[in-house]
Amino acid sequence: MTVALDLVHWDDVHAAALRTAQQAELRERYGDDDIGHTMTGDGIVAMVVARDDDEPVACVALRDASADLGPGAGEVKRLYTVPSARGRGHARRVMVELERLAAERGLTRLVLETGVLQPDAIGLYLALGYRSIPNYAEYVDEPSSRCFAKDLSPAPRVSSGPSTAGADVTIETVPWDHPDARALRRAMWAFNVERYPELVPDEPDQGFASDDARQGVGALTTWLARVGGTPAGCLTLRAPRPGYPDGSVELKKMFVADEARGTGVARALLAAAHDEARARGFATTVLGTGIRQPEAVTLYLSAGYRPVLPFTDRAGDFLTLWFGRPLG
C-alpha cells in the first residue's frame, strides 16, 4: 500500500468530491443537513487529501478560527474517509498531518465538532488526545453535537505526589443500600453538582435521595472498595434497559474518593464488574460518563472501552459520552 498525503486547494476536484460524500453520509445518518453544510473555503488554511495508490480516500480541512475562537485557535473541518478504505488508518494519518500543518502556521489549539452517532470519530479524537469542551459557535444549541479540543503544545504534567498504587485494596460485594456505598454515592452526587450545576434539580425532593432510589432500580451487584479498611470507592452492575445493545449490561455509579485516587481502586472495581458480567453471560459492558470528567474518560479508554452509539435517551442531552467494552 502506497499512501500519499497531498496539500491541495479547497476547491480541488477530489477534495470537493470527498466533502460532498461526507455531507451525504451525515445527511443519511442524522436525517438532515449538517449545521455547517454550507461552509465555503473562507478561512481555510490547509486542505489535506490522502491517496491510496493514487486513489483519493480521505480528507480533512483546517480553518483559522482565531478571530472567533481566540488567538491561536484552529478548527478541524470535513474529516472523512470513504467507506471502502476505512480501518486502514487514513483518518489518523490526515489528522496527524493536519496537526503538523497547524503548528507550522502558528496555531496552538485545535477544536472540532462531531456527532453522537459517529462513535468511531469520537474514538479517533480521544485516541489522538482531544478532550471534551462545551459546544461552541453554531453547535451551542445542538444536543447531537459533541465538541473537542487539543492543545498542540500541552503544558507539562505536574505530579500530584507520590503514587500509592499497590496499596491494600480490598473489594467486597454489598447491598445497594449499604451505608458505606451510599455515603460514597452521596459524595459522587456532590462532585457532580459541582461539575454539572445545570443538572441540579429545582425541587428539594428531587435531590440525592430520590435520584439514588431511581438509580438503584435494576441493580444486580454493588461493590465496595476499601483501602486499608477505609471505604474508598464503589461501583454497581445494573440490568440493561430497553434500547440498550443486545447482550449488554450497564456499569453505574463508579466513584473513587479523592484521597484514594491513584491506589488502583478504580481498576480493581472494573475488574470485579467485568468478571461478574461474564459470569452472568453478558457480552458487553456499557456506561455513560460526562464530558467534564476527562479523568474518567482516560481511565475507561485505558481499560479497553471505546465510544459507542447512544443507548440512553439523548433528547436534550449535551453532556454524555457513551462507551462500551466487549467481554470476550
Q: What is the pLDDT of residues 248-299, one digit of tens each?
A: 999 999 999 999 999 999 999 999 999 999 999 999 999 999 999 999 999 9
Q: What single letter denotes the amino acid at residue 297?
A: V
What does each C-alpha distance from 65 to 29, 74, 135 come to in angstroms? Answer: 27, 5, 15
Residue 164 has pLDDT above 60, yes or no: no
Q: Among positive and negative, which fits the CA dihedral 119, 11, 13, 95?
A: negative
Confidence tier at 163 by pLDDT (50, 70, 90): very low
Closest C-alpha among 306, 327, 316 to residue 119: 306
Considering the chain, what percentage of its residues have pLDDT values greater than 90?
A: 89
Per-residue pLDDT at 200 = 80
- All domains of the chain in start order, with CATH: 3-151 (3.40.630.30), 169-326 (3.40.630.30)
Per-residue pLDDT at 160 = 45
Identify the residue with better confidence: 237 or 1.
237
For the chain, what is the mean pLDDT? Answer: 94
Judge contact between 248 and 285, C-beta under 8 A: yes
Confidence tier at 1 by pLDDT (50, 70, 90): low
Q: What average pLDDT does range 146-166 have in this prediction?
A: 68
- Identify the bridge partners of residue 219 per DSSP, sorted by sequence position: 238
Per-residue pLDDT at 153 = 78
Per-residue pLDDT at 201 = 75
What tens digit of pLDDT does each residue of 77-135 get?
Answer: 999 999 999 999 999 999 999 999 999 999 999 999 999 999 999 999 999 999 999 99
Confidence tier at 199 by pLDDT (50, 70, 90): confident
Q: Which residues contact 240 (CB under 8 A, 6 or more apart)?
A: 248, 249, 250, 286
CA-based R_g, the chain, Å: 22
Per-residue pLDDT at 37 = 87
Judge contact between 174 and 231, C-beta under 8 A: no
Per-residue pLDDT at 263 = 94
What tens digit of pLDDT does each residue of 202-223 get?
Answer: 765 668 999 999 999 999 999 9
Three-point CA angle 198, 110, 306, nearest 5°: 65
Predicted model pTM: 0.93
Per-residue pLDDT at 36 = 84
Per-residue pLDDT at 157 = 55
Per-residue pLDDT at 69 = 95
> Residue 324 is placed in which grid cell?
462500551
How far apart CA 297 and CA 292 sit, in angstroms, is 9
Per-residue pLDDT at 162 = 43
Considering the chain, what percentage of its residues have pLDDT values greater than 70?
A: 94
